[in-house]
Amino acid sequence: MEEAVRFSLLQKFDWRGVFSCTEFDKGDFLLEYRGDLISKEEYERRQRIYHDALKVFMFEFRYNGKLLCVDAARDDGSLGRLVNDDHINPNSRMRTISVDGKPHLCLFATRSISPGEEITYDYGDSEWPWRCTAHSEVEPSTHTLSQSEVTDLEKARSEVEPSTHTLSQSEVTDLEKVAPKKDQLPLDQDCVEKMSLVKEHVLNEEQSFCAPAEGVKEVCKHVVVTSAISSMDKCAECVGPVAALKWIGLRCKLCSSFWHKSCYSKLHEWNGKQSSWEVSSEEDELSDEEYIPQSESDNQSDSSDELTTRPACYDQANLLSDIQEAAASKFSEPQRSDVTALNVSKGKGKGVLKAREAASVYNESDLLCHEEQLTDVETDSDSDCSGERHLPRKQGSDEIRMTDSDDSDPEESDSDDDALAGAAGDSSNADLVLFNHLSLDNAAY
């Protein structure tokens, strides 16, 4: 049974991370990265229709030589999808656990973890935009809660009575002391533009640092085509308003960024380049009623004010409300009610949201293991699969096998269908806490 405690004002948040409430030893199972287990083809299809803010929840990995993805875009209340990146000093590592032949992405502690530490892992060797900031500046992944905050959490977790208390302004301020607000991170415009390029979430054992900001500029030499663009996608330059319908703009064929034609053209004039673009055949495929040529949002960007006012830094609050809006509009089925009751530890004025997960398909003890308990798989076809190891057998099931999530085994013959049938779903976890560091915006209460 997973138990999560969440600081939240539900709607207005700009930073979330998962923190431990207890001691973990090296090798302990922490969390599962849960979501829809989908094939490469389905991953590519969703990539085309998802807003950038949802794409960051798609975790690609290799399993039996095939590229699969766990899509955690839908907020199901689970915590695995909310664990942040730390490529310098992570305390956990994602591994593929095979249960009855189906892959599950699971986080294991790589060292002992104290109460109050943020759970982090290395997202892998990619040019993640937040890594573009100087390492001497705010490091969000090294937050550790103070002992009193941990005690508060433990107290809060033991409270069973749900409460409908709404946080007061002073409570919100207290929570904000726990960690810096995300928008304090000095993401520069180059990093922001680069965000749309971030697609791969494949893990790598090597620790790596992203290229400095100068290098980032080199990454995408945009090849743009005229294209009808989803109402939820914003111009990468002016971050203009979301249109009610599709709008006609430019889309980069390489990085899938979008621009108003006027913004793109201004941008490249500034850079001393010719503005030109191909006419996409995509326009032919579009139904007339779905878009307005030269829509309002396109026209709005023609104002010289907007063209010259470039956002100083990326607005994380907007990004996250985008996630919510996009998720709400893309998924018609009701959200699971795992996260239900708002509990408040009134002593210190801290708000927490108590979450209880549905019954899991296997016991937590099935997944608990320590490095020294792991042995290499010795079957002939598996023996060349690096890093693949046994876990204790689950009663009444096939053996559970564990691999690093970027491992592949081309020798294995399991079909995608087999793997996908066991969607990376339920697992159990306790003692982890999710914090939302709340915006001071009073509007929500």
Ligand X SMILES: C[S@@+](CC[C@H](N)C(=O)[O-])C[C@H]1O[C@@H](n2cnc3c(N)ncnc32)[C@H](O)[C@@H]1O
Least distance in angstroms from the C-beta of 14 to ligand X: 8
User: Which position among 56, 94, 172, 402 is part of the footprint of ligand X (CB under 6 A)?
Assistant: 56
Q: Which of 19, 43, 50, 57 binds ligand X (CB under 6 A)?
A: 57
Q: Which is nearer to ligand X, 86 or 409 (CB)?
A: 86
Task: Compare residues 43 and 264 and give the one whose CB is closer to ligand X.
Answer: 43
Does residue 58 touch ligand X according to CB under 6 A? Answer: no
Using CB under 6 A as the binding rule, whether residue 85 contacts ligand X is answered as yes
Nearer to ligand X, 327 or 377 (CB): 327
Of 84-92, 219-227, 263-271, 348-356: span binding ligand X (CB under 6 A): 84-92
Site for ligand X in 178-237 (CB under 6 A): 185
Under the criterion CB under 6 A, does residue 82 sit at the interface with ligand X?
yes
Residue 8 binding ligand X, by CB under 6 A: no
The residue (of 179 and 243) whose beta carbon lies closer to ligand X is 179
Q: Which stretch binds ligand X (CB under 6 A): 77-85, 348-356, 395-403, 415-423?
A: 77-85
Q: Which of 20, 78, 84, 295 binds ligand X (CB under 6 A)?
A: 84
| 61, 130, 247, 291: residue in contact with ligand X (rule CB under 6 A) | 130
Pick 200 or 283: Cβ nearer ligand X: 200
Number of residues that bind ligand X (CB under 6 A): 13
Residue 441 token pair: 């915006």
Q: Examine residue 258 and tell whether it contacts ligand X (CB under 6 A).
A: no
339, 4 contact by CB (below 8 A): yes
Under rule CB under 6 A, residue 121 binds ligand X: no
Nearest distance from C-beta of residue 16 to ligand X, angstroms: 3
**Residue numbers of the site for ligand X (CB under 6 A)?**
16-17, 56-57, 81-82, 84-86, 130, 140-141, 185
